[in-house]
């Protein structure tokens, strides 16, 4: 080629200069575990369903959600949302109202009549589920979707377990519960009501079941010995709450005392108040800080005018009068009697001192291990008897709907593997996306005018049913507050901030890839990634 | 344009939602996203250039040129002063520029760009626009006379200064844009007053405002939306325009390559680099500080300021720098509440 004067080389692009050879550190895209997912006892992939919800695709969001939990409308009302406690956004302004979005999705699904996808093939295996509470329903749902034939036996007159016979209506309207149960049954799950299983092995044999999942719950209210006169009305909270579902509502009188400090005690007191009690008093032997009940429930109860009497034990009940002994905490924090007594007027006394499991259906089953009144299970949820699995309130755990649903899912996976003669190996958990992995600069905080409004909206969802949940606008708004911790949300930051133009954008839904021919390893992409989805790793020589 | 906050981004999705400050956002339409978010941005400054890891100037130049290319439909010619940007993009015979680009001398970029604009007019192609660009050395020192002339004649040129506060490619010498107390090769951190002198300062953006030209703005590589909006606005105006972009330099400042954007952000948040706009001689808006920080937070990650944290004299100098920042905050009203947009 003929060159002009003093020019000896052809001009060319700097693309010939592969600056990637300068690199000592290499950026890689990762998916980290968001703290919400990590904290969810039901194992929901929260970040993933919020990702769909924030683009307004509620059906996809609901479908991702229900891959793990078939009861979003229930859970959106009764879950104690450990996801929100773990949420990184709390360190920016306030946690994302995950629970209220879940409720919105659940309600939307009922309203729109979304159905679960039935299994594509039948396995020919039969599984017996005992108990139609959260855990049993969850297991039945997952097992059915895996193609197994599932029959649920429940001792009660309606499905739902503690969701129906324990949780008051003001927290969980029954039409919501019925709709979500029906959708599970519509998958082809058989439900037998008023069908108490007296002997599990006989029932399995008679029904030709290949495996069983037990989730009978803990329905027997614990009693404490309290001397009481013959005219005194003493009942346990489980019985009282259950009778709210029947024709004969309990007669509690005008002054009701509830003895205990757990969530059931709160439910009983709030129910008594709604039944017309002028005074509902919770008597608890320790202090508020040590109460096992969730703080927001205590707060709501106080707002409703429930009275609390701390550091007190009930010694005896005479007609209309309770004798109470004052307690004092010792240096270890245990309540000790003081010898000081006082009296409290009461028409009835409700004992909310915990619940026991009815294990009679397991009499004569070899290999089982029962400890402290609960069924012991291995990490795969199987009891000591091969093929019999158990979960929910009857195994040692925190007794909540969410934990129950989680047990059901976990057990279903292990049962499915066991039926195929395999061992279920859960996918390896990703590294946790904690707050220091994020670049919080990129998340705007709410202007002052927005915060009170949001707070108001959030409260509606955790409050009683007389108030509605989120509507479409604020559900979308709430979903979009998700930081997408640890998972790329295609914000284009890496693509934008690379001084070397070494990030390739692959288009909507396809994320990005690095062009290692030119990436110099400056780490700007990783530092400026808002959600911590880029990791720098040393370059191998 | 009645925008008084200088924060109105291209995208409308705001507050309390994710992605307000990020480059792009999958939830907003393509047309409302930044140019840098676009899969078909021009990449006027492409791969293979020889800038250091984490170079703020390489980033700032691509940000500015890509958006100017979009604003002019690709009818754009860039004139480059001598400096890092020229050296690292065009080692003979390679070029990283995917646009018409020319380099003449260190000090005459503004004059050459004036000539380019005149030539295009004479050739009957007035739609082809001219941009001059250079570092702080080529702008605030060596090219200052040509720049002032271009302003005063109101030539149809946008001049962009990428300010990395020193002569970096020749070995980090001091320029008139080097901040007080900063260590450079020519202002070592030794003696009773280590680092650069306090002097009187020289704000070329203010000097540009004093020329009364149609448009003057400052920007940083930490706020892409603001930068793109300003370049777009400048390309919609004829006459002399000036944009001064703060671009951290990992090599000259002794900072980590991954801190480039964070430092640009901190320079704004501490008040040392006020981000504002001016039209026809009057300041019209400033970008408000979102999360105020003391100047020490900006100085600390930079080794050129390390000596400030080792002595009592250093502490006094930090206080002096803080006073400069506070004066900026008052002058440009940087702490007044942002207007909340509906």
As a whole number of angstroms, the distance between CA A197 and CA A195 comes to 6
Inter-CA distances, A121 with A413, A426, B232, Å:
17, 23, 59
The shortest CB-CB distance from A499 to any of B25, B39, B51 is to: B51
Q: Which residues of A touch B261 (CB under 8 A)?
A: 497, 524, 527-528
C-alpha distance from A303 to closest chain B C-alpha (Å):
30
Q: Which residues of B touch A93 (CB under 8 A)?
A: 16
As a whole number of angstroms, the distance between CA A128 and CA A109 comes to 28
On whether the CB atoms of residues B130 and B102 are closer than 8 A, the answer is: no
What is the pTM for the complete model shown?
0.88
Q: Which residues of B touch A517 (CB under 8 A)?
A: 47
- Contact B43/A501, CB-based, under 8 Å? yes
Query: Average pLDDT, stretch B70-81?
Result: 97
As a whole number of angstroms, the distance between CA B308 and CA B59 comes to 29
pLDDT digits (tens, 9 = 90+) for B198-253: 999 999 999 999 999 999 999 999 999 999 999 999 999 999 999 999 999 999 99
Q: What is the pLDDT of residue A450?
A: 55
Average confidence score pLDDT of chain B: 92
Q: Is the pLDDT of residue B10 over 60?
A: no
The shortest CB-CB distance from B22 to any of A9, A18, A493 is to: A493
**DSSP state at residue A222:** -
Peptide bond preceding B93 in cis form (omega within 30 of 0): yes
Q: What is the ipTM of this complex?
A: 0.93
Question: Chunked in runs of 10, what are the mean pLDDT values of chain A (541 residues)?
Answer: 79 93 96 97 96 93 97 94 93 88 94 96 96 97 98 96 91 94 97 95 96 94 83 86 84 91 92 87 92 87 89 90 91 90 92 91 90 92 95 93 97 97 92 95 69 55 50 80 93 96 95 97 97 95 74
As a whole number of angstroms, the distance between CA A454 and CA A449 comes to 9
Q: Which residue has the higher pLDDT, A80 or B29?
A: A80
The closest of A22, A152, A171 to A103, measured between CA atoms, is A171
As a whole number of angstroms, the distance between CA B179 and CA B199 comes to 10
Query: Quick one: pLDDT band at residue B28, thresholds 50, 70, 90?
Result: confident
On whether the CB atoms of residues A102 and A80 are closer than 8 A, the answer is: no
C-alpha distance from A450 to closest chain B C-alpha (Å):
8
C-alpha distance from A447 to closest chain B C-alpha (Å):
7
Q: Which residues of B touch A443 (CB under 8 A)?
A: 18, 20-21
pLDDT digits (tens, 9 = 90+) for B258-275: 999 999 999 999 999 999
């Amino acid at each position: 080629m003929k060159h002009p004067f003093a020019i000896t080389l052809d001009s060319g692009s700097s693309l010939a200069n592969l600056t990637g050879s300068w690199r000592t550190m290499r950026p890689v895209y990762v998916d980290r575990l968001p703290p919400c997912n990590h904290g969810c006892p039901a194992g929901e992939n929260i970040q993933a369903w919020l990702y769909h919800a924030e683009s307004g695709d509620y059906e996809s969001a609901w479908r991702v959600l229900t891959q793990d939990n078939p009861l979003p409308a229930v859970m959106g009302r009764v879950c104690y949302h450990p996801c929100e406690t773990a949420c990184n956004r709390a360190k920016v302004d306030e946690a994302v109202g995950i629970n209220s979005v879940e409720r919105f999705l659940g309600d939307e699904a009922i309203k729109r009549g979304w159905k679960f996808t039935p299994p594509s093939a039948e396995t020919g295996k039969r599984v017996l589920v005992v108990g139609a509470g959260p855990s049993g329903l969850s297991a039945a749902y997952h097992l059915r979707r895996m193609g197994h034939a599932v029959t649920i036996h429940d001792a009660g007159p309606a499905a739902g377990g503690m969701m129906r016979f324990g949780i008051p209506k003001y927290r969980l309207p029954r039409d919501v519960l019925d709709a979500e149960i029906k959708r599970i049954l519509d998958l082809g799950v058989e439900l037998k009501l008023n069908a108490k299983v007296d002997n599990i092995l006989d029932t399995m044999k008679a029904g030709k079941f290949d495996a069983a999942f037990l989730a009978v719950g803990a329905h027997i209210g614990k009693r404490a010995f309290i001397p009481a006169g013959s005219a005194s009305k003493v009942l346990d909270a489980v019985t009282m709450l259950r009778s709210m579902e029947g024709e004969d509502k309990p007669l509690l009188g005008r002054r009701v005392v509830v003895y205990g400090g757990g969530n059931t005690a709160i439910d009983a007191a709030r129910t008594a108040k709604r039944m017309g009690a002028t005074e509902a008093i919770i008597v608890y032997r320790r202090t508020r800080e040590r109460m096992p009940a969730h703080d927001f429930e205590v707060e709501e109860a106080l707002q409703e005018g429930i009275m609390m009497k701390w550091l007190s034990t009930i010694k005896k009940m005479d007609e209309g009068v309770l004798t109470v002994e004052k307690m004092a905490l010792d240096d270890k924090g245990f309540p000790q009697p003081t010898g000081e007594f006082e009296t409290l007027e009461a028409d009835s006394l409700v004992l909310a001192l915990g619940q026991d499991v009815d294990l009679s259906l397991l009499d004569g089953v070899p290999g089982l291990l029962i400890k402290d009144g609960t069924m012991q299970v291995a990490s795969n949820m199987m009891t000591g008897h091969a093929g019999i699995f158990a979960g929910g309130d009857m195994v040692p755990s925190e007794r909540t709907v969410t934990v129950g649903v989680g047990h059901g899912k976990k057990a279903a996976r292990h049962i499915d593997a066991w039926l195929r003669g395999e061992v279920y190996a859960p996918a390896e958990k990703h590294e946790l996306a904690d707050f220091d992995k994020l670049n919080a600069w990129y998340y705007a905080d709410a202007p002052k005018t927005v915060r009170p409004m949001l707070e108001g909206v959030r409260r509606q969802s955790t409050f009683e049913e007389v108030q509605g949940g989120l509507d479409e606008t604020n559900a979308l708004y709430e979903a979009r507050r998700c930081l997408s911790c640890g998972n790329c949300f295609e914000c284009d930051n890496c693509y934008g901030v690379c001084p070397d133009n070494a990030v390739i954008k692959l288009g909507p839904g396809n994320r990005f890839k690095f062009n290692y021919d030119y990436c110099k390893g400056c780490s700007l992409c990783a530092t400026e990634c808002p959600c911590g989805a880029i990791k720098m790793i040393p370059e191998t020589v | 344009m009645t925008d008084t906050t200088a924060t109105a981004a291209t995208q409308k999705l705001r507050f309390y939602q994710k992605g307000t400050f990020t480059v792009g956002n999958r939830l907003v339409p393509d047309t409302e996203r930044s140019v840098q978010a676009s899969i078909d941005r021009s990449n006027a400054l492409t791969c293979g250039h020889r800038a250091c890891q984490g170079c703020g100037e390489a980033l700032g130049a691509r940000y500015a040129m890509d958006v100017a290319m979009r604003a002019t439909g690709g009818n754009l010619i860039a004139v480059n002063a001598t400096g890092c940007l020229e050296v690292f993009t065009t080692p003979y015979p390679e070029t990283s520029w995917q646009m018409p680009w020319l380099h003449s001398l260190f000090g005459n970029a503004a004059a050459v760009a004036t000539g380019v604009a005149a030539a295009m007019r004479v050739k009957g192609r007035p739609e082809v626009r001219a941009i001059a660009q250079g570092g702080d050395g080529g702008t605030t020192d060596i090219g200052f006379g040509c720049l002032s002339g271009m302003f005063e004649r109101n030539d149809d040129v946008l001049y962009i200064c990428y300010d990395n506060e020193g002569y970096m490619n020749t070995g980090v010498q001091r320029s008139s844009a080097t901040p007080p107390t900063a260590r450079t090769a020519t202002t070592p951190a030794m003696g009773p007053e280590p680092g650069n002198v306090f002097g009187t300062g020289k704000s070329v953006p203010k000097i540009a405002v004093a020329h009364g030209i149609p448009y003057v703005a400052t920007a940083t590589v930490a706020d892409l939306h603001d930068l793109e909006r300003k370049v777009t606005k400048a390309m919609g105006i004829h006459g002399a325009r000036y944009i001064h972009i703060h671009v951290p330099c990992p090599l000259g400042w002794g900072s980590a390559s991954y801190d480039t954007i964070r430092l640009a952000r901190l320079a704004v948040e501490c008040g040392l680099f006020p981000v504002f706009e001016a039209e026809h001689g009057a300041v019209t808006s400033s970008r408000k500080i979102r999360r105020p920080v003391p100047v020490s937070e900006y100085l600390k990650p930079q080794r050129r300021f390390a000596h400030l944290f080792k002595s009592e004299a250093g502490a006094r100098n930090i206080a002096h720098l803080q006073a400069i920042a506070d004066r900026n905050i008052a002058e440009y009203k940087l702490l007044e509440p942002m207007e909340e947009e509906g």
